[in-house]
Amino acid sequence: QLQLVESGGALVQPGGSLRLSCAASGFTFDNYAMAWYRQTPGKERELVASISGGGGATDYGDSVLGRFTISRDNAKNTLYLQMNRLKLEDTALYYCAKGRTSFLIQPRSMTYDNWGQGTQVTVSA
């Protein structure tokens, strides 16, 4: 059955970089858009970035635009999030999630039905 397993979270200093990975299995990976969400206690869940099935279209939340890059390697069934110039407010539990279709259509309101278990990113001096 479908599985999404995030990894790569760590403690990192402000200004540092981190690369998160999401290993997918149990479905035809390149047929589906994927996304990264993050959540911090006391804050609403935030859509960080999303990517179309083929990787040709991406969308980013305003708070990470220009600093984060979402990508995917469909041959490896893996989703990535490259995080650069990290800030304290990037601290969160990061989840990857599977979309319903391949294309990004109104990406900030799309439904992502399946989530991984999350990987913790902590930005601290």
pLDDT, tens only, 4-45: 999 999 999 999 999 999 999 999 999 999 999 999 999 999
Pairing of strands 11-12, 119-123: parallel
Q: What is the pLDDT of residue 4?
A: 97
Name the 3-class secondary structure at 107.
helix
Q: What is the pLDDT of residue 125?
A: 93
Query: Could you give the CA distance from residue 110 to residue 58 in angstroms, rounded to a whole number?
Result: 13
Summarised one tens digit per residue, pLDDT across range 34-82 is 999 999 999 999 999 999 999 999 999 999 999 999 999 999 999 999 9
Q: Got the DSSP string for 23-80? A: EEESS-GGGS-EEEEEE-TTS--EEEEEE-TTSS-EEE-TTTTTTEEEEEETTTTEEE
Split at pLDDT 50, 70, 90, the class of 113 is: confident
